Amino acid sequence: MDSTITARRRRTGRRTELPSPLPTRVLGRTGEKVSILALGGHHVGQVEDDGEAIQLVRTAIDMGITFMDNAWEYHHGRSEMLMGAALQDGYRERVFVMTKHHGRTKRTALRHLEESLRRLGTDWIDLWQFHEIIYEDDPDMIFAPGGGIEAAELAKKHGKVRYIGFTGHKDPAVFRKMLAYDYPWDTVQMPVNVLDAHFRSFQREILPILLERNIGPIAMKSWAADTCWSQA
């Protein structure tokens, strides 16, 4: 990739947008256009052969997937390392990279951030999300003095992170508590599938709030963790 384009990308964090065979959507207030399908880092880490995993990521990008999903703990960091290797040779500039972390305190969150940046081989992460907000005290810990939200703000200030979000899949009540802090979240990742409506529904209880506040919703477990298929 042209060195001038790469340098500009590092300064602005903007991807080099190429024509995509996949439909795209604007991700909430970020204004970013991303593919409607993401490549899941957890599954990339399940591929035993490193070369095959790297080729999988690059093939996905070549076919139009621009949203890269990952997390600090996936396969003890191997998922991020594989994705980082795949994003060399100009591929980083073509994608929107999201990773997640478990830092409830500022100190832990910043440590996770530096490890993710190193593994992913990048100077910045497009979207950094608090992972698995499932316990009642998670929001209070994150917003307490010295909490993880301070790390998020510091990371944005220093240009290491562009957008902030959180994820979870247990109880919408915990999400409502997180949203009650009125932080300007960019994204929220949650279950969206045919079973969700029947118990503790994120689609019924959380999605309307996100749309009203222009927070980008990201669907996960869209196949209900294969439950529907395994019972068929």
| Alpha carbons 135 and 123: distance in angstroms, whole number | 31
pTM of the model: 0.88
Q: How far, in Å, CA of 87 to CA of 85, rounded?
A: 5
pLDDT (tens digit per residue) in 152-196: 999 999 999 999 999 998 899 999 999 999 899 999 999 887 766
Place of tokens 């810990």: 141
What was the pLDDT predicted at 182?
87
Amino acid at 160: K
Q: Which CATH number applies to 3-225: 3.40.190.10, 3.20.20.100, 3.40.440.10, 1.10.1740.10?
A: 3.20.20.100
Confidence label for 49 from pLDDT (cuts 50, 70 and 90): very high
Strand partners, 219: 190
Give the pair of three-digit tokens for residue 72: 């600090």
Measure the N-to-C terminal CA separation of the chain; round to a whole number of Å. Answer: 47
Q: Are 184 and 154 in contact (CB under 8 A)?
A: no
pLDDT confidence of residue 26:
96
Cα separation, 62 vs 94, whole angstroms: 9
Spatial separation of the C-alpha atoms in residues 72 and 215, rounded to whole Å: 23
Residues identified as active-site: 74
Q: Encode pLDDT of 24-39 as tens digits.
A: 999 999 999 999 999 9
